[in-house]
Chain A
């Protein structure tokens, strides 16, 4: 089973309010990623966990937080949503060193109003 699940599929948030997105995988993958995808743009890497080690991109360091309480679960947290956060958020997992293939969830479409 190569399933990555994301909840919710659609999220409506108000400017200035927090947002929490959830991702889970049952493949025992050591690495989990969060990407932000806007129309006609490349999926932008926000952060990733390798095991329990969090790596955040320099240009989004202060905007996004994450937690990985166990191997299967990873969340993406926005403390105060702005209009610019409206996008599709894609979670992916992989087993680094074993083909490295990323398996993606269906995504969460976040709309900030």
Chain B
């Protein structure tokens, strides 16, 4: 049974700071690793995903995957108040099953 855990549970950072969110998973055969963001009252929306070890950058966001460590992370450069939201990590298997973590609540202070 896949277990997905996130840290920290919540985070408060000043505007302009670098923010780092972490996700660990238990199934080494997992193939899909993604971050979703959910603003209050809205549906979760995909931010970015990665399928193989390494790093991927899109604008201010970078995702880093280390399968051997069963860990991936999201880094937000120059954090903005509009980045304040619940961040969910997601891990998928080759059977289409996608499991989410409990989330990290991020608040960026102006």
Structural contact, A105 and B43, CB atoms closer than 8 A: yes
Contacts known (A41-B102, A96-B96); A101 close to B49, Cβ less than 8 A = yes
Cβ-closest chain B residue relative to A107: B43
The chain A residues found within 8 Å of chain B, CB to CB, are 4, 31, 33, 35, 40-43, 45, 48, 50, 55, 90, 94, 96, 99-107
> Which residue from A4, A42, A50 sits with its C-beta under 8 Å from B4?
A42
Contacts known (A42-B102, A106-B43); A50 close to B96, Cβ less than 8 A = yes
Structural contact, A42 and B95, CB atoms closer than 8 A: no
Structural contact, B97 and A45, CB atoms closer than 8 A: yes
> Which residue from B34, B92, B96, B100 sits with its C-beta under 8 Å from A35?
B100
The chain B residues found within 8 Å of chain A, CB to CB, are 4, 32, 34, 36, 42-46, 49, 88, 90, 92, 95-103
State the CA gap A96–B101 with chains docked (Å): 20
* New contact pairs (10) apart from A42-B88, A42-B101, A96-B96, CB-CB < 8 Å: A43-B100, A48-B97, A50-B96, A55-B95, A55-B97, A99-B49, A100-B92, A101-B34, A101-B46, A102-B46
Cβ-closest chain B residue relative to A100: B32
Structural contact, A90 and B44, CB atoms closer than 8 A: yes
With a cutoff of 8 Å between Cβ atoms, the chain A residues found around residue B34 in the complex are 100-101
State the CA gap A50–B96 with chains docked (Å): 7
State the CA gap A103–B103 with chains docked (Å): 18
Cβ-closest chain A residue relative to B47: A101
Structural contact, A45 and B46, CB atoms closer than 8 A: no
With a cutoff of 8 Å between Cβ atoms, the chain B residues found around residue A96 in the complex are 96
Structural contact, A90 and B43, CB atoms closer than 8 A: yes
State the CA gap A65–B43 with chains docked (Å): 23
Structural contact, A43 and B49, CB atoms closer than 8 A: no
Structural contact, A42 and B100, CB atoms closer than 8 A: yes
State the CA gap A48–B44 with chains docked (Å): 17
State the CA gap A105–B43 with chains docked (Å): 6
Cβ-closest chain B residue relative to A43: B100
Structural contact, B49 and A100, CB atoms closer than 8 A: yes
Structural contact, A48 and B102, CB atoms closer than 8 A: no
With a cutoff of 8 Å between Cβ atoms, the chain B residues found around residue A40 in the complex are 102
